[in-house]
Chain A
């Protein structure tokens, strides 16, 4: 526990009526935040008759229990188990490189703008910060135009794996570009806390800007890379809007697109919808449970 001021005496000893009330409210709020997920989870393991006739929060009875919805949802999101063309694989195909690229470019830019003295840096940095807050609607039509002029498919003619996935590559580049601002902001706030004297000493020893980055900054950046990669991966994986505009062929739909299509096609089959929602959320849920602290740091950084 990292919380400040928690006393280490026995849990029950410190329990005044006031504390009991406090924990009751906190637990009630846990109920509030988990209710939609709990109701979704329970519904996802009920047969169609069972979910219509039972309370959504109640677990299924023995006759109402089934994992059919999960199999059906997996089938429509991903296909067979080892299918390499399903929407989950498509999402990984663009989300991983986009996350890595935007974090790397963000780190380099933050270093270039933080640890050197040049007047224009504030201006460049202000433009980058503003990029965090741009409503993407303001770029959608030009984005569609741009990717119809820049024909990635023909540039990649004959390249196996990549050529048919030109839409996903366009999506990768798009997400990289729009991810750079927040990554730069996160890295810059971190680099500003690095002691300048150390860098100045290295500089006087004749180390170049590039060498200082490789030898000093990069090793120090590891924790911030963790924060940025985790936060950015979640953002990119979760996005729907860019995929709607860029990915046209349903064969290469990403998982948010496929999930939306599933919801539209199976309007009444809430159990399959819920199972699909969990499957689509699984990678981000795993990342969140494993790296909740880094995610929270990324969240705090979003407030630029």
Chain B
């Protein structure tokens, strides 16, 4: 996916040098690598080791070593000061978790965030991409503005949105009142019923520009004839997009959805800045609960166990994706 995306971007820049590498079969561009007999392959492995080994070791230690260690800690009963006792391991923390109403609520909220946020960000991003793709003037300026929120820190955007959602003088309620929609002006962050929706709306604001960029690259890779053919058929614009164009954006949708879902799983900074470590049961998610249990309450083992659940959920999202990439020869 990423390779195609970049190639598209490069092609759009009018750099013809990559044209010859364009594949039409959607995969398998292997074939031509150095292969000058098996001796040289061994030599090459040795020669290439210094290039990738430092990176692989760092990632191995900090990512995979740490996850393994985290799992080990989740099997202890470590809490408070002192060090974990690795001599008696059990699944106790995972049992406690299943009886913890806060964990159940946080899991439910995490799923709601994952699904609703991903869906609304994708839909808005797709609509925006279709609009931007109409051969408009000042396209770069529009794109730059739409992507701007994505370049900001969650700490910064959370502060902006806390102000936007302010009950009496925040931008949202002031706008609603100006439109005569007073009855819609809610206490967005104070009322538990609206808190999660308010978070999702703000995150959609921040991430839809990202979806726009991914979809725009996808739209630009669809041959013009497909648009033309649909027009000749007399398909209305909406139907043409729905029937002809959208189905061809599967790859773009997949990769954007994976990034959004994984983000939804680890969305921490934004909620932490808005609500601290305890956003209340209505907006608590596993990522925040994990931090609260481990770093505020020093329930290290319990926090680690929640982290393992999060990791398993992320794996559930990315493993099929990476496997698919592998099958399509994109790895």
Which of A111, A116, A240, A301 has the largest number of chain B CB atoms within 10 A? A116
Categorize the interface residue count of chain A. 35 or more
Is there an interface contact between A56 and B170, defined as CB atoms closer than 8 Å?
Answer: yes
Distance A199 CA – B34 CA, assembled complex (angstroms) = 9
Residues in A lying within 8 Å of B, measured CB to CB = 1-7, 11, 22-23, 25-26, 29-30, 32-37, 39-40, 43, 51-52, 55-57, 105-106, 108-109, 111-113, 115-118, 122, 124-131, 133-143, 145-146, 174, 176-178, 180-181, 184-186, 189-190, 192-193, 195-197, 199-200, 203-204, 208-210, 213, 234, 237-241, 244-245, 256, 259-260, 263-264, 270, 273-274, 276-278, 280-281, 284-285, 287-289, 292-293, 295-297, 299-304
Q: How far is the CB of B10 from chain A (nearest CB, A)?
A: 7
Residues in B lying within 8 Å of A, measured CB to CB = 1-3, 5-7, 9-10, 12-13, 18, 21, 29, 32-36, 41, 44-45, 47-56, 58-67, 69-70, 73, 128, 131-140, 142-157, 159-164, 166, 169-171, 174, 178, 205, 209-210, 213-214, 217, 220, 252, 255-256, 258-259, 262, 265-266, 268-269, 272-273, 276, 286-287, 290-291, 294-295, 300, 303-304, 306-308, 310-311, 314, 317-318, 322, 325-326, 331
Query: A300: which of B9, B152, B304, B311 is its contact (CB, 8 Å)?
Result: B9
Which A residues are CB-close (under 8 A) to B154? Answer: 238, 240
Distance A271 CA – B265 CA, assembled complex (angstroms) = 32
Q: How far is the CB of B54 from chain A (nearest CB, A)?
A: 6
Which A residues are CB-close (under 8 A) to B156? Answer: 238, 259, 277-278, 280-281
Q: How many A-B residue pairs have CB under 8 A?
A: 370
Is there an interface contact between A184 and B55, defined as CB atoms closer than 8 Å?
Answer: yes
Is there an interface contact between A108 and B59, defined as CB atoms closer than 8 Å?
Answer: no
Distance A33 CA – B210 CA, assembled complex (angstroms) = 13
Is there an interface contact between B146 and A29, defined as CB atoms closer than 8 Å?
Answer: yes
Q: How far is the CB of A115 from chain B (nearest CB, A)?
A: 8
Distance A209 CA – B41 CA, assembled complex (angstroms) = 12
Which B residues are CB-close (under 8 A) to A300? Answer: 2, 5-6, 9, 213-214, 217
Is there an interface contact between B137 and A288, defined as CB atoms closer than 8 Å?
Answer: no
Which B residues are CB-close (under 8 A) to A30? Answer: 142, 145-146
Which B residues are CB-close (under 8 A) to A284? Answer: 151-153
Is there an interface contact between B146 and A299, defined as CB atoms closer than 8 Å?
Answer: no
Is there an interface contact between A36 and B66, defined as CB atoms closer than 8 Å?
Answer: no
Given contacts A137-B307, A189-B3, A292-B144, contact A25 B139 (CB under 8 A): no
Query: B205: which of A33, A124, A197 is its contact (CB, 8 Å)?
Result: A33
Is there an interface contact between B144 and A304, defined as CB atoms closer than 8 Å?
Answer: no
19 residue pairs bridging A and B, Cβ less than 8 Å apart: A3-B132, A4-B220, A22-B134, A34-B145, A109-B55, A112-B51, A127-B60, A135-B307, A141-B73, A142-B65, A142-B66, A177-B61, A209-B48, A238-B154, A240-B272, A241-B268, A300-B2, A300-B217, A302-B210
